[in-house]
Amino acid sequence: MFEIIKCPDLGNKILREVIWKVTVSQVITEKILLCVLVVDDEDYGLLTQILNQKLYTTKKIEIHTSVIGAIEKLNTIEEIMKSNELCTINISDKNHNCDHEIEYGGMCVKCGRELEDINLPFKLPCGVSGRNLKFTENLAAKIEENKKAQLINSQKLILVLDLDHTLIHTFQGKSQAPGIHNFLIDGNDYSTKLRPHLETFLESMRQMYEMCVYTMGSHNYANQIVHIVDPEQKYFASRVISKDDSENKSVKNLKLLLPFDDSMAVILDDTYEVWPNCENLILAERFLYFAEISEFDKKFCGENDCYLLFISELLKRLHNRFYSDGVNDVKQILKDLRLEVLQGINIVLSGVISEIPPSNNFYWQSASKFGAVCSNDIVESTTHVVAKNMGTKKTKAALEKNIPVVQLLWLHLSISFWYKLPEDYFKFENISNFDIRAIVNVIKIRRNSLENSEAQKIPKFTTSESESDSDSESDAVASD
């Protein structure tokens, strides 16, 4: 249904101009100024009588309406003078569902209507082109397809990076220690330490990935950290997602970036709970700097952290398989790479398992996901006994059978780094002299000695620095 808004009777007035205050498709929800009519009105005053000729004065007439609907048509002066009709309003639906394609902050960017609490086509975010920007499903699909085409053309994938405990460690307070970045939020002091090798990591990743930050912190906090990490905006540009951008404040959702197809996105985050059932996730080893850690843990934590060196090589292999091997789904590639880490390894855990059945144990499940076969007892195929301490029945039996016995840290770091570390460094007789730098150097030498065909299987470390990272071991205690 349509309602015609008539032009008021102008009498002897001459219509000179119509100044419209609305636009076609604009939705009217309350009394509104439609237009201003500029007219010439005949003057019958004394001067007119003396001169004996018609004189005119210019007047403005405001036209308001309370009709609810959408502007269908705005008439020209010629049309108004001919039909005496100003405009046509579509009132077929008094609540009028805005069907435009883009909204920003709950408002249609075309007609300006606030879209809260009305029926309208479902809109969803797509990418990080702007906070609170949403699109209709069809437009979002087109945007995503264009993004995928751009990525393929540039031979890139999407890398979603968490901030806290993944790239940085922040605490509330002010630290004067060297290498610490201090900043203020709402008058409160904060101190941030960047994870070692972060700039090297980002610089190498920018060649293969379009990187974006996704944090559970506020947008203000995220912007402060990104300014520290990427002051020239060469890694993230404006691609920053915070908890302020999501309706659900307790979990992260890849659909904010890619609502339909996540096959080209990989995530690096230290908290798996915020990514429920997400196969795109690489679970990062937590970076801890402002925390009390043991002297032994300092050998691979804090300043001696080189987790990003290992993960950068993992991400390089992932990228290579996507574009060189024709496996066009990050999720499948991650599954394959995960299973290769401990492939051919048969593990017996000692002093670690308290769960019944043993297969419910975290390390049992983790080792299995990374390609190992776990057994409760030593069998002929056992290749490793992984223990928290020596002196158990299983560790004694393993030594009698010349089966390597390694500290639990070997399994923990091999899983965290997605790389089977050399066992000798983790044997109990060597563990007190543990030095992650030596391990990295051995890997570098081994990697450089391989043929190109074998080079794909073992990461190549391109930095001269060599340190590593671990968070902590499981506190589970068993008596075996």
Backbone angles phi, psi at 226, to 5 degrees: -65, -35
Within 8 A by CB and 6+ apart from 31, the residues are 64, 65, 66
Which residue reads 């922040």 in tokens? 170
Within 8 A by CB and 6+ apart from 21, the residues are 32, 33, 34, 35, 36
CA separation for the pair 424, 443 (Å, rounded):
13
Q: Answer yes or no: are the C-beta atoms of 286 and 270 closer than 8 Å.
A: yes
- What tokens does 209 get? 């990935």
41 in catalytic set = no
Catalytic hit among 43, 164, 262, 297: 164
3-state helix, strand, coil in the chain (%, to 5): 30, 25, 45
- What tokens does 52 get? 């004996």
Backbone angles phi, psi at 440, to 5 degrees: -65, -40
Q: Answer yes or no: are the C-beta atoms of 268 and 161 closer than 8 Å.
A: yes
Quickly count: other Cβ atoms within 10 Å of residue 475's Cβ: 5
C-alpha distance from residue 84 to each of 4, 7, 15, 59, 80 (Å): 10, 5, 11, 19, 5
CA separation for the pair 423, 64 (Å, rounded):
83
Which residue reads 């492939």 in tokens? 343
CA separation for the pair 309, 290 (Å, rounded):
21
Max Cα–Cα distance, the chain, nearest Å: 130
In angstroms, how far is the first alpha carbon of the chain from the final one? 81
Q: Could you tell me how many residues make up the chain?
A: 480
SS (HEC) of 213-257: EECCCCHHHHHHHHHHHCCCCCCCCCCEECHHHCCCCCCCCHHHC
Catalytic hit among 162, 270, 297, 469: 162
164 in catalytic set = yes
C-alpha distance from residue 475 to each of 47, 105, 150, 300, 472 (Å): 102, 46, 46, 18, 9
Active site residues: 162, 164
